[in-house]
Amino acid sequence: MTERFVVVGAGTMGLGIAYVAAGAGYGVELVEVDRARGAAALERLAQLWDRAVQRGKLTAEQAATNRERVTLRAGLAEVAGAPDVIVEAVPERLDLKRAVLADAEALRPALLGSNTSSIPITDLARDLARPERFCGLHFFNPVWAMTLLEIVVGPATAPETTDAAVALAGRLGKDPVVVRDMPGFATSRLGVTLGLEAIRMLADGVASPADIDKSMVLGYRHPIGPLELTDLVGLDVRLDIARTLQAAYGDRFAPPPLLIELVAAGRLGKKSGQGFYRWTDGVRSGGTELPGPDGSESATGAAG
């Protein structure tokens, strides 16, 4: 029988997790409450499979099989009980995630995971009846290209659950690290530090976005600069994470005012077409104007 993998939330991460799970042979149920986002996710998945065929990574038949393995659901109420895996990938807000995890747990999955980037697993598990089956399954963006899976283990997580998560990583073609439950884990705590400092430097007028990014790429051999990475992650997602880390570690993680302003202006990065750069059809097309101190636009963006 086909094993069942439920993904809750069909945003940037949920659709990526659905893509790799379908590729690993799971029957995937992609749960999305926003009808338009659900439709957009299916469209994006179809594009990804078309591209994989064009690049010779999959045959047309394999791509069609993977596509057929994904079913969209409008809510967890539409999902039958006892799936093999449920991973939640809803926005990074404690109350929302706890509510979703409680509904997910009621379906009695063998393994329950959260794709949280920063919220302690212990906080998410507080109301769970079986926290021993729960752990963090932190995938990276874009999920089909990034091999790391950060498995976050709380005090209540059973060793069998950690083993199951490590086995899942192997099946999905991911390379796992197992980390102790602390806000921001191993990855976000370091990555967000760099991203927030780059935004403060931009606000201070140290250099253009492109030159700040180039400094890290050429000077430190980072594959991508911290501002472009923030555009890919989503400025709103980074803001949520910064607030979580600020609550845990203090003001060294306070979100810079510029980040708050850009999110309020709807400049969320690649997904909205504009962040620190402009994005056209998913491709970076140049620097953008930053809001001036009075909310007017001032030309501090960068070319390229």
Ligand X SMILES: NC(=O)c1ccc[n+]([C@@H]2O[C@H](COP(=O)([O-])OP(=O)(O)OC[C@H]3O[C@@H](n4cnc5c(N)ncnc54)[C@H](O)[C@@H]3O)[C@@H](O)[C@H]2O)c1
CB of 192 to ligand X, least distance (A): 11
CB of 292 to ligand X, least distance (A): 28
- Is the Cβ–Cβ distance between 71 and 5 less than 8 Å? no
Strand runs labelled E in 118-195: 134-138, 148-153, 175-180
CB of 116 to ligand X, least distance (A): 5
DSSP classification of residue 89: -
CB of 82 to ligand X, least distance (A): 19
Name which of 65 and 187 has its Cβ closer to ligand X. Answer: 187
Name which of 161 and 230 has its Cβ closer to ligand X. Answer: 230
CB of 268 to ligand X, least distance (A): 9
Closest among 40, 47, 50 to 9, alpha carbons compared: 40
Name which of 1 and 36 has its Cβ closer to ligand X. Answer: 36
Name which of 58 and 151 has its Cβ closer to ligand X. Answer: 151
Closest among 177, 206, 276, 176 to 235, alpha carbons compared: 276
> What residue ranges bind ligand X (CB under 6 A)?
8-14, 31-34, 37, 89-92, 96, 100, 115-117, 138, 140-141, 233-234, 237, 241
Q: Distance between CA 221 and CA 200 in Å, rounded? A: 21
Residue in the shown chain whose Cβ atom is closest to ligand X: 11
Name which of 208 and 231 has its Cβ closer to ligand X. Answer: 231
Closest among 270, 247, 259, 240 to 196, alpha carbons compared: 259
- Expressed in angstroms, the distance from the first to the final Cα of the chain is 50
